[in-house]
Amino acid sequence: MPKSPSLAPRMAAIDLIASVIGTRMGLGEVLPRPPESFRDLPPEARARAQRLAVETFRQHGRADTLLRRAMRKTPPEPVLWVLRLAVVEMLGLGAPAHGVINDAVELVRREEFPKLAGLVNAVLRQVAEVGGWDATPVPRLPDWLRGALQNAYGAKLTQAIEAAHQHPAPVDLTLKAGIPAGLEGEMLPTGSLRLHDPRQISALPGYTDGAFWVQDAAAAMPVQLLGDVAGLRVLDLCAAPGGKTMQLAARGAQVTALDISAARMARLRENLTRTGLAADLVTEDALTWQPDQPFDAILLDAPCSATGTIRRHPELPLIRARDEVKALQSLQAALLDRVLDPAQGLLRPGGRVVYCTCSLLPSEGEEQIASALERHSARLLPLDLPGLPPEAQVQGGLRTRPDFWAERGGMDGFFMAMLAHVA
């Protein structure tokens, strides 16, 4: 049994981290079937464990800098993660050192490394005494990702992106209609509401009434590119968990939402029920499904590396690899072929396609569009959204980055383009 009330959430955080690293699945994929130590906690302790895991993923590079100064060699990985969590909690989150160190020693014993308990105690006491958290350099992204970003943006902007990743993402809401009474935040130029006080979402005014849903400001932009969709038949491909489906439905479109994952579609159905919005839901493979008639517009939010969402998913650099991204690029190209080929029957003549990815990599954005235009008789349509800096305009579309709107708290990295068949 845990020896202190604080040990249980720390133990659960370590188990969450081990599950993510061991399965190479994102934290959001692990949480529906979490470790027993997490599942057995009351809600408040589960929330604390999740926060600890997220911040340890986010700040583990800073912790490593300080740990290297206090150790001559790297301990086994389970012990290293205990050390990282302890350093992040003490120096990054300001938790009292005494309790953190005592629990770290207990966690190491629980990880079946009792002989290293003394080392952990000594190292953490030294790190706590010396400090230096604010002086540690901003951690770098993995070489494969950093190299790609430097090639695309240059060294200075890559460093700005890495610095933005060190801060948690703000909470943005997409509103079904107006702002519910009592809900406070900043209206962003693109129409999202950024919360001043991101408390428990389900406790916010308007949640029960379905007046909003959580959606980063950048993720809400692709639907806006389609303009007035009232009465149009719109296909939302790779739709779950449904933020864009709800946007389209709220704007009066007749939406068909398609996704290959039944579990993710169940979440979409729940979101539609809460918000009182309607869409036709199809659980099929986007590469083979055939509709009864073509659509007026298609929104293709293609599966991607999600490197634009590292602020909210800081575990991603640890579980993604170059080979996985290459496989995703092949799928993106196949999906673009599916929606742009008139013979496939998905899009009516003169219809529009919005392609988007939550990726920072041009190979999943600009380069995909350039290649698609070589393969298909399609043309790019001009894009413009209020409030974005001029550098958001890139060849082939719009691109947002985590360092945009820095004074407001940043945004996710997204690429988006709109195309139409050549008449």
Q: Catalytic positions, please?
A: 358
- Measuring CA to CA, which residue among 62, 174, 61, 71 is closest to residue 118? 71
**Cα–Cα separations (whole angstroms), residue 352 to 131, 250, 349, 383:** 56, 19, 9, 13
Identify the three-state secondary structure at position 419.
Answer: strand
Q: Give the containing element (helix H, strand E) for 280.
A: strand 280-283
In contact, 35 and 16? CB cutoff 8 Å: yes
DSSP-assigned letters across all residues of 94-121 = ---HHHHHHHHHHHHHHTT-GGGHHHHH
**Total residues found in the chain within this entry:** 423
Q: Give the containing element (helix H, strand E) for 348.
A: strand 347-357
**Cα–Cα separations (whole angstroms), residue 386 to 28, 157, 245, 341, 350:** 31, 22, 22, 32, 26
Q: Give the containing element (helix H, strand E) for 398.
A: strand 397-400
CA 159 distance to own-chain centroid: 19
| Phi, then psi, of 416 in degrees rounded to 5 | -150, 140
Cα distance between residue 108 and residue 395, in whole Å: 52
Quick one: CA dihedral 224, 400, 352, 346, positive or negative?
Answer: negative
**Edge-to-edge strands, sheet with 193-195:** 185-187, 193-195, 172-175, 212-214
Cα distance between residue 385 and residue 351, in whole Å: 21
Q: What is the largest CA-CA distance in the chain?
A: 74
Cα distance between residue 234 and residue 294, in whole Å: 9
Residue 317 bridge partners (DSSP): none
Position 63, amino acid: A
Residue 282 bridge partners (DSSP): 258
Cα distance between residue 80 and residue 66, in whole Å: 12
